[in-house]
Amino acid sequence: MPGRHFLFVPGPTNVPDRVLRAMHRAMEDHRSPTFPLILRDILDRLPKVLGMSSGRAFVFAATGTGMWEASLVNTLNSGARVLAPRYGQFAHLFISSATRLGYKVDTLESPWGLPAQPSAIHDALARDKEHSIQAVLVVHNETSTGVTSDLAAVRRAIDDAKHPALLIVDGVSSIGSLAFRMDEWKVDVALAGSQKGFMMPAGLGILGMSQKALARVDAATSPRAFFDLRDMIKQNDTGYTPYTPALSLLFGLQESLNMLFEEGLENVAARHAHLASGVRAAVAAWNLELCCRDASSHSNTVSAIMLPGGEAPKVIRRAYDKYQLSLGAGLGDVAGKLFRIGHLGDLNPLMLMAALGGTEMALRDCGIDIKPGAGLAAAQDVFRRDAVQAQKLAAD
Amino acid sequence: MPGRHFLFVPGPTNVPDRVLRAMHRAMEDHRSPTFPLILRDILDRLPKVLGMSSGRAFVFAATGTGMWEASLVNTLNSGARVLAPRYGQFAHLFISSATRLGYKVDTLESPWGLPAQPSAIHDALARDKEHSIQAVLVVHNETSTGVTSDLAAVRRAIDDAKHPALLIVDGVSSIGSLAFRMDEWKVDVALAGSQKGFMMPAGLGILGMSQKALARVDAATSPRAFFDLRDMIKQNDTGYTPYTPALSLLFGLQESLNMLFEEGLENVAARHAHLASGVRAAVAAWNLELCCRDASSHSNTVSAIMLPGGEAPKVIRRAYDKYQLSLGAGLGDVAGKLFRIGHLGDLNPLMLMAALGGTEMALRDCGIDIKPGAGLAAAQDVFRRDAVQAQKLAAD
Amino acid sequence: MPGRHFLFVPGPTNVPDRVLRAMHRAMEDHRSPTFPLILRDILDRLPKVLGMSSGRAFVFAATGTGMWEASLVNTLNSGARVLAPRYGQFAHLFISSATRLGYKVDTLESPWGLPAQPSAIHDALARDKEHSIQAVLVVHNETSTGVTSDLAAVRRAIDDAKHPALLIVDGVSSIGSLAFRMDEWKVDVALAGSQKGFMMPAGLGILGMSQKALARVDAATSPRAFFDLRDMIKQNDTGYTPYTPALSLLFGLQESLNMLFEEGLENVAARHAHLASGVRAAVAAWNLELCCRDASSHSNTVSAIMLPGGEAPKVIRRAYDKYQLSLGAGLGDVAGKLFRIGHLGDLNPLMLMAALGGTEMALRDCGIDIKPGAGLAAAQDVFRRDAVQAQKLAAD
Amino acid sequence: MPGRHFLFVPGPTNVPDRVLRAMHRAMEDHRSPTFPLILRDILDRLPKVLGMSSGRAFVFAATGTGMWEASLVNTLNSGARVLAPRYGQFAHLFISSATRLGYKVDTLESPWGLPAQPSAIHDALARDKEHSIQAVLVVHNETSTGVTSDLAAVRRAIDDAKHPALLIVDGVSSIGSLAFRMDEWKVDVALAGSQKGFMMPAGLGILGMSQKALARVDAATSPRAFFDLRDMIKQNDTGYTPYTPALSLLFGLQESLNMLFEEGLENVAARHAHLASGVRAAVAAWNLELCCRDASSHSNTVSAIMLPGGEAPKVIRRAYDKYQLSLGAGLGDVAGKLFRIGHLGDLNPLMLMAALGGTEMALRDCGIDIKPGAGLAAAQDVFRRDAVQAQKLAAD
């Protein structure tokens, strides 16, 4: 079909032409005298994206799913006990990974559409007098429901319980898009993939480790090989990697970091707030509900929109077949009940106007009663403002 | 600025990723045994795009402006007399090229916003009893006003006047987008550039020559070197070119021809009719006027939209600065009075939704009284139909 | 520095322009209706490269190191006993991975420069009356020494010992370059990375599993998450993946498979034999020794060339700094004692002439007594023949 | 065929990956507020490459052949008389272009293999007492014979004759590779194409005009349209172009200028001298003769190598078919008598080792009596030195 496809799933996101060009390069010897220039550039700049002033960042040839594993095997003892709120599909899968790797997970169930509950975390930790829980696993932004958890509150809950557990955070759909404050929130392990806020193809896993987490690496008794940070640390210290790095993706990551810092991380976050406001204005004008039940938890990277009557899969399929628009489907407990618009990465208002226009047409085609143009007019009222202004409004 | 820029000037058009990739290739020796495979593939397929079953096509490392010159110097005697309607900026510049090259141009003036007038052509030719006029120069689709002339009617006018003049047609903003029927309309020379319907960067000029026009090449007394078809014919016959060809652009042209034929030329024309209908529906919903005064002459590749009060340049600038949207400005007689939306090449409805959304916001930002969302709702009503259906409606 | 760099390490190899172009593509939704077309195309064709007519192939977003882990955790019970010859650095690292993951490795030491010893494997298995050894781990082509082991002989050794152990083969630097006959050799697990014979950047791990190995997946008790084939099998059956795939690399792999099959796997192997013969002829003309002690074990993908007196690192550095030529260094037990020329992937004789020319100059610059041009003249004598002829000679 | 093709014709030259990437970009509106940044960057830097401190540079969507025309029609009156030495095929074609455009050319014949003869130019001008000769047309580096003319001597010849004729120089295969000193040599018009020293695909013509030449533009009576500098000057003054520019090629030219200035023009010239010395050393070791008869005229961008007995076309074909090596053929008077190795643009010694290796094998395959490896050994002796050293040797 002619023209560009509009990719509005919440990952992979659009890879900017600059990044595609940066990856279109001949291979190099990863043991050459110049390779460390590439690796160190990346490892020096990644902590800034994570809001981390001490600790270290690491890059693996893997995905976010691999980083779940890496975050656990490098910090936990074999069979360790961990605590994890389950409030969406990706929280569920993180828990599932931990379970398969032999860890005992105390799960805190939340209704999908709500964020992780700091009070429940507090209470569970407070009950753990012997401090047998080694870590709390939290998904920052739950991609399946469009809900962002309050990590500052989670941190307060842990501190209030005076519990030494590590805070391990999945930031796959937040890092690089939303403000992420590893230092401020005392996150011990933050993990991400390349294919969302970093505007890259999937294939790189990113791990941020606090000093406290790093201190666990040698002591942790979990078996590990590919994800073993001991080798990675040793080799990274020399500017190299323990095995062949995914070099084309590293070239791309350098350029995506260039773009993030050229725009400025605060501006990136403000832009995502701005774009999300426009989407939510359109949803409201369509008289549809978000899966996210509370405005304070609205995700600025993905909106999950409820559609009663099992129409969501039809709308998604219509958008794809007729309008060259990829929307996200409902997953897990909300499969069939909603569709998702990803609004993260290399996006601007006009790209979202196209997505909202396509969504509106697909909704109408499927018989949803939408006032023509209403969503687009509402989005316009947001997009005609500027991003910084929008962020201030969102902050009020 | 993050995200994609939206290019909606009437040329250059968006270069599809496939074409960009095709041009990202190492150079080759243009005198190698395999070069003829590339050149012949192009020269065999170009005539189909022109609707030409006999005659020949040629490709120059030049632009449409160069093809004006090539079309004249290869068919006319030095100082020859030609007839040319002037009904927009590009008709004007074609005439200007002819004049500079020493030809005497009988100009037929039309108000901008109307097409070439077949009756005026007929009358001028009928008055030329001694047949001193060697050619009639017509711009098929006037990019400055969004007006398409009726070439079948022009042909009838020439035939009715029983005049032997060549019909030389500028198809720069029509060929590859609108139906072009060189055989049926007995066009003798058709010229185009690479950067519009061919979805390429500028840098190639394309020339189609009927048998009648080819018969003029040796006889024509105009001096010429770079654009001399005598060398081109001689070398093309062997599969080669008289001088170094613009090889990267030829690689791209092969791929753009692949895309045109995969979609099918009729489907390409239907799609352009469909997209244009959506744009015109939006313009009507905004209560704005097209420069084109007559629905039968509406261009399906570009719409020129009048804005009173000198607001057009402000709207164009606002769209560019705030919404990453490039619109076309008024040129020549209509400078400052209108803005143009190009809707040709590698486009689909959602891309136009973005452009119309950005236009609507820029109009509102400049104080134009537009009902929010009205244009987009009107366009949706068109785009929810399918392209073939739209063409039929347009044909009624 | 101007001009192309010459990459002659034994991986990553040169990525052909076609593959680079194939990866220069916009991202797509990996849950779209069309994604299975991409994945199935790859999974259908990979087994042919492995010489496998039953069984299944899998692709992971990881590297060959990850495939070591995947090959073990999906087939072995926790703490299982395995047998592994150690005859070079990559055999050593495979063993190290197994050890870290908690397996007990019976190591069979061979001097570096010799291949895996089938008789030693036979004897060790014959001694294991209770069949407590679950697998034999063999590196097919030892990249550190330029030695290829005889897998047919290894298979005979296992069969002669009437032992049920799985045969797990690291084919990282052989698969896609050398003939690999999974069926014929009854290899149970074959593993590879994308960055050698597949002519891709690193970032994909490839796993081939025989029916016998697949039957172990559910029963194996090793903990696993990222590399868990149970999810992979379940999702691949539907045309999808259990987590976000490394899509840009999959696009590249499709194109690299196109190239391998266009050339023909037999021709690929013949070409590698041809290129390797040229390199070995040059080495002989330089009066230098290969690390590989036995002509029947000469690797056709990499030659490791001994240099006495600690000159190897100087030669490598000189080649890099002065001639834009990357050669491989000695690793592990042979660190500092040799340099390596990788001759695998997208290569032709003239590329090797450049590499040999650069090597010859670097050797001379470092004071090695080489007759100028001798190596190049010897290589010419090979390269002037054709690849098929060379293979026949090699087979004699 | 696998691996890279080796392109050693004297144009088009290898396009560096950086330049290919720079051209892989979305199109932009060439009437946007930001387009002048691109154009001015190019027009500001081109004069430096030409060695021109006053005067102006221009870029056309055309080729070097087009620049022949542009150089003449913008400076000469209709039917003007010009003087031109003919000492090779490109001198011949320049003369042919001038003749076709209606100019009267006084041709000074030189045997092919010798440069333009300053004394002959002096004498012809001295005889032109009435100063009816408006220009002297000289090809700086004759690509067909590998001969570089001495422009300083040509300038002295003109000055000694006290003749006001313009000096119009074809620098197609010299500018960007060899030192070009427009100011010092008082060249009035210098012309080039993009596909040689500028390391680009063909498709851009480059014109440098001295103040004296610029003063002729308005007065010159030659008819012209596409190549008319009057429009170009007027539009360039505003940062724009008179018609659609070949934007993708302009992106490439920016990057090629970046590369030229990063290396430094003097280093570029030294590198070309170095590479050429290596080629000539190999030719001497093969006991073959250059077409160029005098060492002081040896071209540093192309070597034309005589082969008696009509073997040259066979060698060229063999190199192409068997070794993926493109060599240049003999043209015009020397057709069939020689083959050419282009050694200009983005090249380094190892690339030339490959080309010389392939040439040596093709020569041997065709039965030419060559001592195996002799040419390569001779080239090594040059390439083991450094470029600056080589230049000094060449200067002695």
- For the stretch C383-394, pLDDT in tens is 999 766 655 655
Q: What is the pLDDT of residue B395?
A: 59
Which one of C23, C202, C326 has the shortest CB-CB distance to A32?
C326
Optimal mutation site among B4, B5, B19, B29, interface D, most CBs of chain D within 10 A: B29
Distance, in Å, from the CA atom of D264 to the CA atom of C164, rounded to the nearest integer, reads 67
Which one of D7, D21, D227 has the shortest CB-CB distance to B28?
D7
Q: What is the pLDDT of residue D386?
A: 78
Q: Which residue of chain C is at minimal alpha-carbon distance from D16?
A: C3
CA distance A193 to chain C (A): 10
Instruction: Say whether residue B310 is in contact with chain A using an 8 A CB cutoff.
Output: no
CA distance C60 to chain B (A): 26
Q: Which helix (H) or strand (E) holds C191?
A: strand C189-193
Strand partners, B58: B207
Distance, in Å, from the CA atom of B82 to the CA atom of A299, rounded to the nearest integer, reads 66
Nearest-10 crossing angle of helices C118-127, C151-160 = 20
pLDDT greater at residue C308 or residue B149 = B149
Instruction: Say whether residue A21 is in contact with chain D using an 8 A CB cutoff.
Output: yes
Q: What is the pLDDT of residue A10?
A: 97
For chain A, 396 residues long, give each residue's pLDDT as a single digit of tens. 899 999 999 999 999 999 999 999 999 999 999 999 999 999 999 999 999 999 999 999 999 999 999 999 999 999 999 999 999 999 999 999 999 999 999 999 999 999 999 999 999 999 999 999 999 999 999 999 999 999 999 999 999 999 999 999 999 999 999 999 999 999 999 999 999 999 999 999 999 999 999 999 999 999 999 999 999 999 999 999 999 999 999 999 999 999 999 999 999 999 999 999 999 999 999 999 999 999 999 999 999 999 999 999 999 999 999 999 999 999 999 999 999 999 999 999 999 999 999 999 999 999 999 999 999 999 999 999 976 665 565 555
Residue B266 token pair: 């009729």
Instruction: Say whether residue D79 is in contact with chain C using an 8 A CB cutoff.
Output: no
Q: What is the pLDDT of residue A386?
A: 78
pTM (predicted TM-score): 0.97
Q: What is the pLDDT of residue B306?
A: 98
Instruction: Say whether residue C26 is in contact with chain B using an 8 A CB cutoff.
Output: yes
Q: What is the pLDDT of residue D388?
A: 63
Instruction: Say whether residue B203 is in contact with chain D using an 8 A CB cutoff.
Output: yes
Strand partners, A326: A7
CB A246 within 8 A of CB A203: yes
User: Could you tell me how many helices (H) and strands (E) chain A has, helices first?
Assistant: 14, 14
Question: Within a 13 Å sphere around the CA of C360, how many CA atoms are in the beta-carbon half?
Answer: 35
Where residue A309 falls (left for φ over 0; alpha for ψ -120 to 50; beta otherwise) is left
CB C10 within 8 A of CB C340: yes
Q: What is the pLDDT of residue C31?
A: 97
Instruction: Say whether residue C17 is in contact with chain B using an 8 A CB cutoff.
Output: yes
Residue D387 token pair: 């470029």
Instruction: Give the count of Cβ contacts less than 8 A between chain A and D.
Output: 14
DSSP secondary structure letter of residue B290 = B
Question: Which residues neighbour A103 within 8 Å (Cβ) at sequence distance 6 or greater?
Answer: A72, A76, A79, A80, A81, A82
Question: Which residues neighbour A237 within 8 Å (Cβ) at sequence distance 6 or greater?
Answer: none
Q: What is the pLDDT of residue D342?
A: 98
ipTM: 0.97
Question: Which residues neighbour D306 within 8 Å (Cβ) at sequence distance 6 or greater?
Answer: D288, D289, D290, D291, D337, D338
Q: What is the largest CA-CA distance in chain A?
A: 63
CB B248 within 8 A of CB B99: no
Low pLDDT (below 70) residues in chain C = 387-396
Q: Average pLDDT, whole number, for chain B? A: 97
Q: Single out the residue of C280, C352, B33 nearest to residue D358, CA to CA.
A: C352
Strand partners, C357: none
Instruction: Say whether residue C1 is in contact with chain A using an 8 A CB cutoff.
Output: no
Backbone angles phi, psi at C328, to 5 degrees: -90, 145
Q: How many other CB atoms are found less than 10 A from the CB of residue A147? A: 28
In order of A24, B123, B243, C221, C246, the CA distances from A73 in angstroms are 34, 89, 65, 17, 23
Q: Which SS3 state, helix, strand or coil, does residue D290 take?
A: strand
Q: Single out the residue of B8, B7, B4, B5 nearest to residue B340, CA to CA.
A: B8
Instruction: Say whether residue D26 is in contact with chain A using an 8 A CB cutoff.
Output: yes
B388 pLDDT more than 70: no
Contact A6 B263 (CB under 8 A): no
Radius of gyration of chain C from Cα atoms? 21
Q: Single out the residue of B8, B321, B278, B370 nearest to residue A380, CA to CA.
A: B370
Q: Which residues of A touch B197 (CB under 8 A)?
A: none
Complete DSSP assignment for D201-233: -S--EEEEE-HHHHHHHTT-----STT-HHHHH
Distance, in Å, from the CA atom of D175 to the CA atom of D173, rounded to the nearest integer, reads 6
| Torsion angle (degrees, nearest 10) of CA A315, A317, A319, A325 | 130
Question: Which residues neighbour B81 within 8 Å (Cβ) at sequence distance 6 or greater?
Answer: B103, B104, B105, B106, B132, B133, B134
- % chain B with pLDDT above 90: 97
Complete DSSP assignment for A161-211: TT---EEEEE-TTTBTTB---TTTTT-SEEEEETTSTT-S-S--EEEEE-H
- Chain mean position to CA B338: 19
For chain D, 396 residues long, give each residue's pLDDT as a single digit of tens. 899 999 999 999 999 999 999 999 999 999 999 999 999 999 999 999 999 999 999 999 999 999 999 999 999 999 999 999 999 999 999 999 999 999 999 999 999 999 999 999 999 999 999 999 999 999 999 999 999 999 999 999 999 999 999 999 999 999 999 999 999 999 999 999 999 999 999 999 999 999 999 999 999 999 999 999 999 999 999 999 999 999 999 999 999 999 999 999 999 999 999 999 999 999 999 999 999 999 999 999 999 999 999 999 999 999 999 999 999 999 999 999 999 999 999 999 999 999 999 999 999 999 999 999 999 999 999 999 976 665 565 555
In order of A195, B39, C367, D298, D369, the CA distances from D356 in angstroms are 46, 30, 24, 18, 15
Q: Which residue has the tokens 């050894």?
A: C133
CB D373 within 8 A of CB C373: yes
How many residues belong to chain C? 396
Which one of A24, A31, A201 has the shortest CB-CB distance to C27?
A201
Which one of C17, C20, C25 has the shortest CB-CB distance to B17?
C25
| Chains contacting B (3+ CB pairs below 8 angstroms) | A, C, D
pLDDT, tens digit (0-9, with 9 covering 90-100), for C88-118: 999 999 999 999 999 999 999 999 999 999 9
